[in-house]
Structure 1
Amino acid sequence: MKLQQSLMIIMGLILFAGCKKYLSEEPKKQASIKTVDQLEALVDNATDFSNIASQTAAYSTDDTEIPKALYQNNSTAFTIDNLQYYVNSVDGVVAAATDALWSGEFKKIFTANLILENIDQVTGDDVRRQRVKADAYFIRAYSYWVLANYYCAPYSAANLNALGLPLKKTVNYTESLKRATLQETYDFILSDIAEAQKVTNDDVESLRPWRVSKKAIAAFLSRVYLFRGEYDQSLAQAEIALTTATAKLVDYNTLVPGIPVSYANPAATLKYVEQNDWAASKFLYWSEFYYTRYAYTGAQWFVPSNGLLALYDTQNDLRYKSFMIPNGGRRFSVVTPSAFRYTVFNDGRYIPEGPSFGEVLLNKAEVLARKGDASGAMNTVNILRQKRMSTYTALTAIDKDDAIKKVLEERRREMPFALRWYDIRRFSVNDYPADNVTVVRDFFEVNLTGVNMNAPKTYTLSANRLLVPINGVEMDASKGQIAQNPY
């Protein structure tokens, strides 16, 4: 009971920091933290840590499409805040009442800093102390990587002196909020990862997959180095991660039906697979994960674009048949026109974002393709496809360019929405123009308060818009310290 009371005090402090904009508010008091148990319990608050609440991931990429007819007939199915992200409006995002992604990730960073400030003073087992310390460093590194890949320019030699992030290393409210450079931000992320690598746990802990391990770090580094264009390092880390004995591919042929949902006027029955019914007590333990992280949308509707749907073999690809729900808009009273819905876990709220076995295979395949090993790339991709197709046919590639194209298409089929924003950004700055993506919206004029359906408008996501504006509330709370991105 005493431990529970202490944790309530600590969590109250963290929640206070989040709702009062931690970046500008002094915590009222330092909670009574005395044991490793208390700090470990914070790390084990997996439901809180696993959510990445990104409207950008849900609405801003070419994976999403809201046709004009869909909006005209069902305008109440989409909020004006979501539409600001859909058309990538700088003014609309800045003017929103809040930004759950920014505040949510800095809340995690605050918790990590709270742990690091107390871990060497509390009583308890030294082995657990070192494990919790490694967890805190990795939590902070992961959140900073996420933030950097939304609010900062894409990583490239030309952007290293561009605006990075406020580097919060303590819970002290007087710590500067001035944005570091992008180079300094990545140096900080990698230094935290280096500290996390001191963890003694080699492989993913199946009962607590949100805890850090050497294999989880290797899986994440395969992503980090891929995004930095450091292909040899990405490949080396992928090879380490793939030696896991815990994370594993799920054969989608083994998925069983979930609970169907029926509607009237007009009659319709939507069929789901079992994951759609899973609550946190199950989806937090998704066996493909090295490290538990989910892209989250409270709207519960990832609206797949025609371009995304066209990439699937609709007869044999179980990702399409299991997760792309025809007429899924009925969940939101959408009847005309019929609209697809992408849903994986918990009635469409959560889709995998953390490092997974499938992602690591795709990281490896992409590196091999970019290095000119077309057959090696296809062999690696086909390991994944064997677990995703009802009737499996191996992919082949005739040359490097064909291999890159097919790997990137497979990547998009495997991880829509969650990683697409990240990928579009890195494609824009690498040395391979053929993978560049231009996001175009054929929609209506969207202003700060509504949508003018009498004014059709085409929006194009330009290269200098591949970073999310910082919310005006956050900037005001910083009292002028946080600079806005240039547009």
Structure 2
Amino acid sequence: MNTILKISLMSGVFLFVGCKDYLSEEPQKQQDIKTVEQLEALVDNATAFAYEASITATYSTDDTEISAELYKKNPTAFTVDNLQYYTFQTTGVENVATDGLWSGEFKKIFTANVILKNIDKVSGSEVVRRRVKADAHFIRAMSNWILVNTYCAPYSSENMDEPGLPLKKTVDYEESLKRTTLKETYDFILADIEAAKAVAEDDVDPRRLWRVSQKAIAAFMSRYYLMIGDNENSLIQSNLALQSTRAGLVDYKTIAVGKSVSYTNPSAVLNFTELNDWVASQFLYWKEFYYTRYQYTGNQWFLPSTELIALYDKANDLRYKHFMIENGGRRFSVVTPATYRYTVFSDGRYIPSGPSVAEVLLNKAEVHARKGEVNEAMAAINTLRQKRMSTYVALTASDKDDAIKKVLAERRRELPFAMRWNDIRRFSVNDYPGDDVVVKRDFFEVSATGVDVNKPVTYTLDKKRYAAPINGVELDASQGQIEQNKY
């Protein structure tokens, strides 16, 4: 396989076609792009951009727990590949067969680059051209953001010269795959965001929530600035996003009962909400989104930890009642021990991860709490909780530390799995020791060939491992250009 061919593997465009076929057909496909409407159709293929297949987010945080007892009694319910992530392996993760997050996000970047290469050459409406160009910049920024917060060191002044991402700015197969610095990666993301701000649309389009708008950009920047520790700018962007008249909170009391599922030997009935049966034509339009994105797990099983479950008011919190399914492990023939399953959309495949009204309220609350503005922090939190509790009682906080504690607990209840990996990373480099997280596992020895249940091991997530290993297939395909993280 020649060099160009190997490099193009990294972009994710080789998933279903032969190498020779691709090199002969893809340039022709791009030559066939003549109108801005064709590029618009790429953006409007929403399912090509909406899903983030992060095994790291699903398995590597303290939101997830696979107890020794659970595994020992149900070993076939878990793959060795996923257990590599669960136990914070390095070479084990590098050597798994594929990494859907890396290839998936680079495929989105490739498509965005195709749009940007052709956008000023094609015929059509200037209004549409402007919007589609902004969409492409935002798609590329979002994908690079997800990648840098998975495979690179956390953002801090000390880490700016650490390895960032290989930045794919064109569709040129000869473009360098060498990793830039962390600073260069973040600068490129910001440059794409600035370019996306050219979009004319101010508010979200509820019929096309995968299109960028000024409010979607503000919501994303509320997240961006919070994650890099720029609280003042995060607050400014949060307030801008919350001016939206189209994105809004869903009152969880209005979510209807869905289908129940019955099991025998022993008997059990599992009750779900209507959301569990929603398909893409429904959940892509979730009212709370500024911009549609979902954390996806193909095995349909987010396994909430005992610690996470304990954070909920089980009598009144509708997030617990609706989504924390007791005995949910029955879906995968797990009977003993009884095991929870966190399910929101499409039988547990998807949970919201895109910028949402709920997240922006939590971002705003956290900034106020860290500034010692206790009443403002609680006001933002309680705006959310009014839509989440069957019997609402306002949260209060006695001081700054208490406010931070309660805001972060609320954040975890609202955004499990989707945001926890990013939060653990940023907590480790900020100047507030009270939010530091230690993630530990009491499990068994895990190797590439399996699990030795006769060898108990305690695993602790090391700070160097906050940068997940890059898949070996991608390293090989780059012919040594992409360097692995050092552990």
| TM bracket, shorter-chain basis | over 0.9
Q: Which runs of 4+ in 1 moved over 2 A?
A: 14-22, 25-29
Q: Which residue identity lines up with residue 66 of structure 1 in the other structure?
A: I
**Aligned residue for 1:171?**
171
Query: How far apart, CA to CA, are the structure 2 residues paired with 1:19 and 1:96?
Result: 19
1:76 aligns with 2:73: no
Query: How far apart, CA to CA, are the structure 2 residues paired with 1:76 and 1:226?
Result: 40
Contact 1:21 1:474 in 2 (8 A): no
Contact 1:21 1:103 in 2 (8 A): no
**Aligned residue for 2:67?**
67
Query: How far apart, CA to CA, are the structure 2 residues paired with 1:27 and 1:416?
Result: 44
* 1:21 Cα offset (Å): 12
Query: How far apart, CA to CA, are the structure 1 residues paired with 2:34 and 2:265?
Result: 60
* 1:16 Cα offset (Å): 3.6
Question: How big is the alpha-carbon RMSD for the aligned residues of Structure 1 and Structure 2?
Answer: 1.3
**Aligned residue for 1:29?**
26
**Aligned residue for 1:250?**
250
1:391 aligns with 2:388: no
* 1:17 Cα offset (Å): 3.7
Distance 1:431 1:384, change over 3 A: same
**Cα displacement string for residues 109-163 of structure 1 (whole angstroms, at most 9, x for unaligned residues):** 0000000000111111110011000000000000000000000000000000000
1:149 aligns with 2:146: no
**Aligned residue for 2:8?**
none
Query: How far apart, CA to CA, are the structure 2 residues paired with 1:405 and 1:17?
Result: 46
Query: How far apart, CA to CA, are the structure 2 residues paired with 1:375 and 1:258?
Result: 38
Query: How far apart, CA to CA, are the structure 2 residues paired with 1:171 and 1:76?
Result: 42
Contact 1:444 1:452 in 2 (8 A): yes
Query: How far apart, CA to CA, are the structure 1 residues paired with 2:287 and 2:379?
Result: 23
Query: How far apart, CA to CA, are the structure 1 residues paired with 2:18 and 2:250?
Result: 40
Distance 1:27 1:461, change over 3 A: farther
Query: How far apart, CA to CA, are the structure 2 residues paired with 1:18 and 1:415?
Result: 31
**Aligned residue for 1:445?**
445
Q: 1:310-321 counterparts in 2 under 5 A?
A: 310-321=310-321
**Aligned residue for 1:7?**
none
**Cα displacement string for residues 11-51 of structure 1 (whole angstroms, at most 9, x for unaligned residues):** xxx874456899xx967532111111111111011112100
Give the match's secondary structure for 2:48: helix
* 1:265 Cα offset (Å): 1.2
Contact 1:209 1:289 in 2 (8 A): yes
Query: How far apart, CA to CA, are the structure 2 residues paired with 1:238 and 1:455?
Result: 48
Query: How far apart, CA to CA, are the structure 1 residues paired with 2:276 and 2:375?
Result: 36
Query: How far apart, CA to CA, are the structure 1 residues paired with 2:450 and 2:280?
Result: 35
Give the match's secondary structure for 1:260: strand
**Cα displacement string for residues 74-125 of structure 1 (whole angstroms, at most 9, x for unaligned residues):** 1111111110010010011000011000000000000000000001111111
Give the match's secondary structure for 2:165: strand
Contact 2:113 2:136 in 1 (8 A): yes
Contact 1:154 1:426 in 2 (8 A): yes
Q: 1:30-429 counterparts in 2 under 5 A?
A: 30=27, 31=29, 32-429=32-429
Distance 1:482 1:28, change over 3 A: farther
Query: How far apart, CA to CA, are the structure 1 residues paired with 2:451 and 2:71?
Result: 10
How many pairs align? 472
Gaps of 5+ in 1: 1-13
Gaps of 5+ in 2: 1-10
Q: Which residue identity lines up with residue 367 of structure 1 in the other structure?
A: V
Query: How far apart, CA to CA, are the structure 1 residues paired with 2:13 and 2:316?
Result: 49
* 1:284 Cα offset (Å): 0.3
**Aligned residue for 1:6?**
none
Q: Which residue identity lines up with residue 78 of structure 1 in the other structure?
A: F
**Cα displacement string for residues 396-433 of structure 1 (whole angstroms, at most 9, x for unaligned residues):** 11111110000000000000001100100000000001
Contact 2:13 2:107 in 1 (8 A): no
Query: How far apart, CA to CA, are the structure 1 residues paired with 2:110 and 2:398?
Result: 50
Give the match's secondary structure for 2:180: strand
Contact 2:12 2:104 in 1 (8 A): no
